[in-house]
C-alpha cells in the first residue's frame, strides 16, 4: 500500500478533530517517518504530528508507548504545578478511537500521534550560542525533572543502547563479515578507532564500578530533539522520548555537544568545516549545569569532556557499522551517507582531543 493510503488509514483511527486538509512529510530524524497533519474545523485549524514508528528498531511498541505515555503524564503534572503550559512544554500523545496509545495497521505498521507544538522550530545547526545555552538549560532541567521519576517502571527499550564496548564489538563483527563489501573503503577510519579502543571502555567501567550514578536519561539529546520557541527563543519542549531509559548523564551532556557544538552539519562532506566550537561548548556547559541546579556529582561534571568525546566516538562507530552492514538502521539520503556521518564524528573526536585542556578548564569554571 502506498504511503498516502497508509496515512489516510492511520488518520481514520485517531481522535483527530475536523477534516484532514494537509499531510506532509517532515524529513527530520534518522529513525521514524514523521508527518505534519492539518485538520479543518468550522472556525479553526487543528495541527498534529503523525509518526510511523520504526518497528525494525522498536520491536515492542506496547512497551515503547507505555514509557512515553508515563513520562509525558509525569512531566505534564509538573508543568501544570509550575504554572506552565502543558500543551507546549511536553509532548501530548493522542489516543486512537479505541483508546490505545498507538494504531497497529493490518500490514503491521505502527502509528502514533502527538499534538503539534506550534511556533517552534528544531534546528540541525546552532544559530547562536544563546540558543544553544537555552537548549542546555532545558535538557538540564529535563534531567532534573526526571530525577524523581520511578525508574523501575521504565522498560529498557533498546538494551545496551549506549554501551560503547558492545557497539565496538558489533563494529568488529561487521568488519569481519563485510557483507556490503565496503571494508576496503574504510581502513583509515578503522585504524583511527582501533587506536582509541581503550577509550571505549572508560564509561562502561565507571558504571560497572558504580562511580557514576544511574539516572533516568533521555539518551538522544541532539539539538533537533528540542523545540525552540520562535518568538522568545527559549527551548520549550524536549521531544523524541523513544530512548528515555536509565543511563548516565554523561551521555546526555555529551550527545548535545557532539551534535550542537559542531560547527558543521552531522553529514558535512567538507571535513575542514567540522570542529568542536569552544564557544558553544562553554555555552552548553554553563546552561546544563544551571539547568541541573547542582544535582550532579562533582565526578559527573568532571567527566563532561570524556562524555562528549566517548559519545561522539560511539556515534561514529554506529554510523560506520551501519555503513558496513549496508545501511539498514539510520535512514540515508545519498550513497555513502553513513560513511560521511562517521567521518564527521571522528573529525570531532580528533578536534576534542586537541582542545582537551580547554574543555576541562571550561567545565571547572562552571562546576
Ligand atoms: P525521529 O525519532 O525520527 O528523530 P522525532 O520524534 O525527533 O523523530 O521527530 C522528527 C521531527 O518532527 C522533529 O525534529 C521535529 O521537527 C518534528 N516534531 C516531532 N514532534 C513534534 C511536535 N509534537 N510538534 C512539532 N514538531 C514535532
Ligand atoms: C538517531 O531519532 P534521531 O534521529 O533523533 C538515533 C540516535 C543517534 C542519532 C544520530 C533510536 O536519533 O541514537 O545518536 O540518530 N536514535 C536511535 O544523529 O537510534
Ligand atoms: Mg529525533
State which of 57, 85, 116 marks the end of a domain. 116
Ligand 3 centroid to Cα of residue 184, in Å, is: 31
The residue whose CA has the least distance to atom 4 of ligand 1 is 29
Probe ligand 2: pick from 26, 27, 30, 164, max atoms within 8 Å of CB? Answer: 30
Kindly state whether residue 214 falls inside one of the protein's structural domains.
yes
- Note whether 349 and 210 are same-domain residues: yes
Give the whole-angstrom CA distance, residue 313 versus residue 315: 6
Among 116, 137, 155, the domain-final residue is: 116
Q: Which atom of ligand 2 is nearest to the CA of 315?
A: 14
Whether 293 and 230 share a structural domain: yes
Q: Is residue 300 part of a domain?
A: yes
Q: Which structural domain, as residue segments, surrounds residue 315?
A: 129-366
- Ligand 2 atom nearest to 259, measured from its CA: 18
- Decide if 357 is inside a domain: yes
pLDDT for the residue numbered 186: 98
Kindly give the distance from the C-alpha atom of residue 242 to the centroid of ligand 3, in angstroms, as a whole number. Answer: 9
User: Which ligand is in closest contact with the Cα of 252?
Assistant: 2
Domain identity same for 144 and 50 = no
Domain CATH code at residue 9: 3.30.200.20
Q: Which residues contact 285 (CB under 8 A, 6 or more apart)?
A: 136, 304, 362, 363, 366
Residue 266 in contact with ligand 2 by CB distance below 6 A = yes
CATH of residue 255's domain is 3.90.1200.10
39 located within any domain: yes
Residue 170 shares a structural domain with residue 225: yes
Q: Are residues 79 and 150 in the same domain?
A: no
Domain count, the chain: 2
Residue 156 lies in a domain: yes
| Contact in structure between 292 and 357 (CB atoms under 8 Å) | no
Please name the residues in contact with 359: beta carbons below 8 A apart, sequence gap of 6 or more.
278, 281, 304, 305, 308, 352
Last residue of a domain, one of 116, 140, 164: 116
Per-residue pLDDT of the chain (367 residues; tens, 9 = 90+): 788 899 989 999 998 888 888 999 998 899 999 999 999 988 899 999 999 999 999 999 999 999 999 999 999 999 999 999 999 999 999 999 999 999 999 999 999 999 999 999 999 999 999 999 999 999 999 999 999 999 889 999 999 999 999 999 999 999 999 999 999 999 999 999 999 999 999 999 999 999 999 999 999 999 999 999 999 999 999 999 999 999 999 999 999 999 999 999 999 999 999 999 999 999 999 999 999 998 999 999 999 999 999 999 999 999 999 999 999 999 999 999 999 999 999 999 999 999 999 999 999 999 9
The three-class DSSP label of residue 246 is strand
Which residues have CB under 6 Å of ligand 1? 26, 28-32, 34, 49, 91, 114, 116-117, 122, 224-225, 239-240, 242
Q: What is the pLDDT of residue 278?
A: 98
Atom of ligand 1 nearest to the CA of 331: 3
The residue among 272, 280, 292, 237 whose CA lies nearest residue 256 is 280
Same domain, 224 and 266: yes
Please give the angle made by the CA atoms of 183, 161 and 189, to the nearest 5 degrees: 25
Distance 16 CA to ligand 3 centre (A): 23
Q: Are residues 38 and 83 in the same domain?
A: yes
**Cell digits of residue 96:** 486512537
The verdict on the CB of residue 240 being under 6 Å from ligand 2 is: yes
Do residues 215 and 318 share a domain? yes
Residues 288 and 146 in one domain: yes
User: Could you tell me if residue 296 is inside a domain?
Assistant: yes
Beta strands in 62-192 (DSSP E): 93-94, 103-104, 110-115, 120-121
Q: Give the three cell numbers for residue 294.
A: 547542582
Report CA(122)–ligand 3 centroid distance (Å): 9
Same domain, 226 and 324: yes
Same domain for 271 and 153, yes or no, is yes
Q: Is any atom of ligand 2 closer than 6 Å to the C-beta of 218?
A: no
Whether 122 is covered by a domain: the verdict is: no
Residue 95: inside a domain: yes
Say yes or no: 68 and 163 in one domain.
Answer: no
Task: Say whether pTM exceeds 0.75.
Answer: yes
Amino acid at each position: 500500500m502506498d504511503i498516502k493510503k497508509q496515512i489516510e488509514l492511520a488518520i481514520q483511527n485517531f481522535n483527530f478533530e475536523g477534516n484532514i486538509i494537509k499531510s506532509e512529510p517532515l524529513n527530520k530524524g534518522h529513525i521514524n517517518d514523521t508527518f505534519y497533519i492539518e485538520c479543518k474545523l468550522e472556525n479553526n485549524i487543528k495541527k498534529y504530528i503523525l509518526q510511523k514508528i520504526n518497528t525494525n528498531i522498536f520491536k515492542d511498541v506496547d512497551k515503547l508507548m507505555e514509557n512515553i505515555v508515563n513520562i509525558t503524564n509525569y512531566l505534564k503534572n509538573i508543568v501544570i504545578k509550575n504554572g506552565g503550559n502543558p500543551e507546549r512544554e511536553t509532548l501530548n500523545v493522542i489516543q486512537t478511537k479505541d483508546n490505545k496509545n498507538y494504531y497497529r495497521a493490518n500490514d503491521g505498521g505502527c502509528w502514533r500521534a502527538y499534538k503539534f507544538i506550534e511556533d517552534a522550530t528544531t534546528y540541525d545547526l546552532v544559530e547562536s550560542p544563546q540558543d544553544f545555552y537555552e537548549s542546555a538549560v532545558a535538557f538540564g532541567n529535563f534531567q532534573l525533572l526526571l530525577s524523581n521519576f520511578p525508574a523501575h517502571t521504565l522498560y529498557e527499550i533498546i538494551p545496551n543502547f549506549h554501551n560503547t564496548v558492545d557497539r565496538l564489538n558489533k563494529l568488529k563483527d561487521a568488519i569481519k563479515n563485510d557483507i556490503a563489501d565496503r571494508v576496503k573503503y574504510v581502513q583509515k577510519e578503522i585504524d583511527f578507532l582501533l587506536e582509541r579502543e581503550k577509550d571505549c571502555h572508560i564509561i562502561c567501567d565507571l558504571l560497572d564500578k558504580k562511580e557514576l550514578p544511574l539516572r533516568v536519561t533521555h539518551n538522544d539529546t541532539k539539538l533537533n530533539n528540542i523545540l525552540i520557541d520562535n518568538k522568545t527563543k527559549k527551548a520549550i519542549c524536549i521531544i523524541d522520548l523513544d530512548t528515555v531509559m536509565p543511563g548516565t548523564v554523561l551521555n546526555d551532556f555529551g550527545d548535545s555537544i557532539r551534535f550542537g557544538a559542531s560547527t558543521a552539519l552531522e553529514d558535512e562532506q567538507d571535513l575542514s568545516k567540522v570542529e568542536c566550537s569552544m564557544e558553544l561548548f562553554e555555552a552548553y556547559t554553563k546552561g546544563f549545569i544551571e539547568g541541573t541546579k547542582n544535582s550532579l556529582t562533582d565526578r559527573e561534571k568532571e567527566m563532561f569532556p570524556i562524555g562528549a568525546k566517548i559519545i561522539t566516538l560511539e556515534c561514529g562507530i554506529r554510523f560506520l557499522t551501519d555503513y558496513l552492514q549496508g545501511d539498514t538502521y539510520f535512514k540515508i539520503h545519498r550513497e555513502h551517507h553513513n560513511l560521511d556521518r562517521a567521518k564527521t564524528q571522528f573529525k570531532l573526536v580528533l578536534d576534542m582531543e586537541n582542545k582537551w585542556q580547554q574543555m576541562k578548564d571550561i567545565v571547572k569554571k562552571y562546576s
